[in-house]
Amino acid sequence: MKAELDRISGDWIAESNRKRKKGLESDYAAVGKMLNRRKVEVDLVVEKVRKFQVAVPSWGTVTGGTRFGRFPIPGLPRDIFEKLDDAAVVNDLTGANPRVSLHFPWDLVNDPLALKKHARSRGVGFDAVNSNTFEDQPGQDLSYKFGSLSHSSKAVRDQAIAHNLEVIGSGIKLGSKAISIWIGDGSNFPGQVSFRKNFERYLDSLRKIYRGMPKDWTMLIEYKPFEPAFYYTTLADWGSALMAGNAVGVRCKILVDLGHHLPGTNVEAVVARLIQAGKLGGFHFNDSQYADDDLTAGSIAPYRLFRIFLELVSASAEPGGKFKPAYLIDQSHNLKDPIEALLQTMLELQIIWAKALLVDLKALDFFRERNDVLMAENELKQAFHTDTRPIAARARLLSGGAIAPIELFRESGYRKLKAEERGG
């Protein structure tokens, strides 16, 4: 590792790959031979996996979430500059995470240009910026206890709008092109708010933020069925989000968080509807057993993730090439090392994305049109049960990443060295 501990050096990655390359070549040849019998060119699949890039969340580099308290480990980043250092390590090891999504005011700095320069030196850029009106900040004039963008008080709404416009301003300086807005607004008890007035106030606030965006920016609105509003949530589902997106403007699109659905929801059908409406703007990748658990992707329901990816791959394959949603990992852990968890999620995303690419869309359509239920399902099962780990590893290798990112991260001693540098 480099003496300055900024990155896991290219020499370390090359040496790790050298030790593992022969095994990968054997595995890759085997899967290539098998896919050749299905008339699938494995090298083309690898190139498509290489193009699949996902942003890393700044908040995902620290511990938190999935429990009521935080249980920090030594060596966690102390500020946004160190968060970028850790995010850059993830990108170095995968070759697939070149952008970082910031959250304000958590990641606010006095000198955005210095932050941008620091990011460039680490080989990363910036994705969508995120606002925060779901909790009060120190020194804040008015409270969001009873809502923010939909609050009954115009003064509170104006404060929340102003914050979002400030976030956009910070994003412009960093080179971002989108703002992601999630609010915890709603109510906990019947009669607490008027459903229609509450939603209309939310729309009015969004319109004011929308008018303050540059013309080349996108607004991403995120829905969630409950928490912290347990009786009624202002933006609780994809239908409400679609209504809001249509009411606000063409560049107001929907962000789908895989943890923001009630158990049993057919998420892939939701994805298909939003694609069909031209309103699917982005994805937050994680997994859940109950609701917003923020678990590593594919840890609970890998086949569901595969079915969702199939909808995305299918839409991406349509003529025109205009379907390009923003992809972001959204997770936070107490039980796993944050960097290892990000790596594990990205590896799983690459593996399952490759599986979705193996579905023969023409054959699938053939069976669908003839109502051949079993063969249509088998087309999905054949792709899902294919071992695509060698394909994902090959994609990382060709992108300058590591064949075995998690193993190399542990071998490097990065966390131990950062613990000595940062404390714990």
Let me know the angle formed at the C-alpha of 268 by 266 and 271, rounded to the nearest 5 degrees: 115
One digit per residue, the tens of pLDDT, for the chain of length 424 reads: 443 457 888 999 999 999 999 999 999 999 999 999 999 999 999 999 999 999 999 999 999 866 567 888 999 999 999 999 999 999 999 999 999 999 999 999 999 999 999 999 999 999 999 999 999 999 999 999 999 999 999 999 999 999 999 999 999 999 999 999 999 999 999 999 999 999 999 999 999 999 999 999 999 999 999 999 999 999 999 999 999 999 999 999 999 999 999 999 999 999 999 999 999 999 999 999 998 888 999 999 999 999 999 999 999 998 877 899 999 999 988 899 999 999 999 999 999 999 999 999 999 999 999 999 999 999 999 999 999 999 999 999 999 999 999 999 999 999 999 999 998 7
Strands 252-257 and 232-233: what pairing?
Answer: unpaired
Strands 232-233 and 186-187: what pairing?
Answer: antiparallel
- Delimit the domains of the chain by residue range: 53-358
pLDDT of residue 70: 83
Question: Fold for domain 53-358?
Answer: TIM Barrel (3.20.20)
Q: Under DSSP, is residue 349 helix (H, G, I), strand (E, B) or coil? A: helix
pLDDT of residue 1: 44
List beta partners, residue 253. 220
What's the sign of the alpha-carbon dihedral 6, 327, 247, 223?
A: negative
Q: Phi and psi (nearest 5°) for 301?
A: -135, 70
